[in-house]
Structure 1
Amino acid sequence: MCGRFAITLPPEAMAQLFEAVPGNDLPVVPNYNVCPTNQVHGVVSAEGRHRLTAMRWGFLPHWYKTTGDGPLLINARAETIAEKPAFRTAARERRCLIPASGFYEWTKDGDGNRLPWYIHRTDGAPIAFAGVWQDWERDGTQLTTCAIVTTGANGTMSRIHHRMPVVLAPGDWAKWLGEEGRGAAALMVAAPEEALTMHRVDPAVNSNRASGERLIAPVEA
């Protein structure tokens, strides 16, 4: 799964990287501890151009009467996304890229303590998660919401967890966004093992209130 990540790239750099028109309500960066229900950056393809826009991380199906009306859908499993009522239309029609600098996963030691790891691209480049999005409205509240697509872990990630987010290579961004015809389903696979690396980080990130660059600094494993 993916339950926490970091984004340090300035909005203008994200806009340049994804050739996108930035919105005027984008989340503040850097954020080294992006948590579920936070606002995140999403790249969508609309009217022949890319748009960089704010989205709530936590997909809200149209039948939810409130934001807490059902499970918090921060991830969508690649294996079932085309079948699940919450995601199947979005998987066909509303796919997005979710920029990140890296993401966190946890293992446990012999005493049950949660040990955080920070995972990022080996080449240091930004990550683009595969995502799906949905507009939701109730009683005058309007939200654009999203979920990150996950798949089975590659060999690197499997050392610490059995699942991982779908990390898209730049050459696949257009296809995921629906700009190059069919074939997006084939992209929902694990990134090559050599694409990602990881290191242990301080347990301070276990708190969703923690912040700052120290959260991604390596510590001795």
Structure 2
Amino acid sequence: MCSHYQALKDRERYRRHFGVEPPDDLGKFDMWPGYAGSFIRRHRHGGVGDEAVPPREALPGLFGLVPHWSLDTRITRHTYNARSETVAAKPSFRDAWKHAQHCIIPANTFFEPDWRSGTAVPTRIARADGEPMGIAGLWSQWKSPQGDLVHSYTMLTINAQDHPLMRLFHKPADEKRMVVILPEDRYDGWLNATPENSRSFMRQYPAQSLQAIPASVEPRIKSS
């Protein structure tokens, strides 16, 4: 399960790759549950028929979904990933899934522990071509006791037991899982998908299109 990722902080790369204006506050670079980051969703006025309204919008939000009924934001420690198999039934996620509150989380890399040596080796996983990743997620909004509106998001995950790369991570007895990385040509499809066809997007990203590097090694990030 992905609890640590590095956000996309280069504003020009953000615009170019995701076709949206980044929020003023992009949050932290090294992201952990409860930290402030950013996510992309279908524009809230996208269905009004106004051509001046862009199809997507980017917002600041907490990593870890805060459902409307939560008493505080501490729940983010447990809601940063949503299992695609149970997302429709879990109280924390079912409303966002039912209402197709889909989002894309921009990321440069995410981290998983490689236990093949018998010791956990933090490993950085990124696209092999150096481009940013768009991770499929769900978003929500929550009103604090003080009346502040807080947005939040979670990453969707799928089983990776048969994935040539992602099955290598976590302890041998643990279930192998991976986040849902979307191909660019499926970004709009995901953001506009109905609840009925949301599951068709829960697919493994090709292993040959990813690279895994020990976290002590500097990654190659495409700049143009």
Q: TM-score, normalised by structure 1?
A: 0.82
Aligned to 1:89: 95
Instruction: Please state if 1:76 is matched with 2:82.
Output: yes
Taking the aligned partners of 2:115 and 2:154, their CA distance within structure 1 comes to 26
1:108 and 2:122 aligned? no
Write out per-residue CA displacement over residues 134-165 of structure 1, whole angstroms, 9 at most, x where no aligned residue: 10112123210110101112221101241111
Deviations 1:164-210 (A, max 9, x none): 110000111111101689633111121122121102223xxxxxxxx
Q: Does 1:130 align with 2:136?
A: yes
What is the aligned partner in structure 2 of residue 193 from structure 1? 207
Aligned to 1:157: 166
- Name the residue aligned to 1:21: 21
1:175, 1:184 within 8 Å by CA — same for their partners in 2? Answer: no
Q: Which residue of 2 aligns with 1:36?
A: 33
Residue segments in structure 2 that go unaligned for 5+ positions in a row: 47-54, 171-175
Deviation digits for residues 90-131 of structure 1 (CA, Å, limit 9, x no counterpart): 123211000001110003366x64311111111111100001
CA distance in 2 between counterparts of 1:215 and 1:122 reads: 14
Q: More strand per residue: 1 or 2? A: 1
Q: Output the aligned Cα RMSD.
A: 2.3
- Percent identical among aligned pairs is 27
Q: 2-side partners of 1:109 and 1:19: how far apart?
A: 39
Q: C-alpha distance in 2, partners of 1:201/1:71?
A: 23
Q: TM-score, normalised by structure 2?
A: 0.81
Structure 1 residue 17 displacement after superposition? 1.9
The list of structure 1 runs, each at least 4 consecutive aligned residues, that deviate by more than 4 angstroms after superposition, is 179-182, 214-217
Match of 1:99 in 2: 106
SS in structure 2 of the partner of residue 177 of structure 1? helix
Which residue, 133, 145, 159 being the options, matches 2:152?
Answer: 145
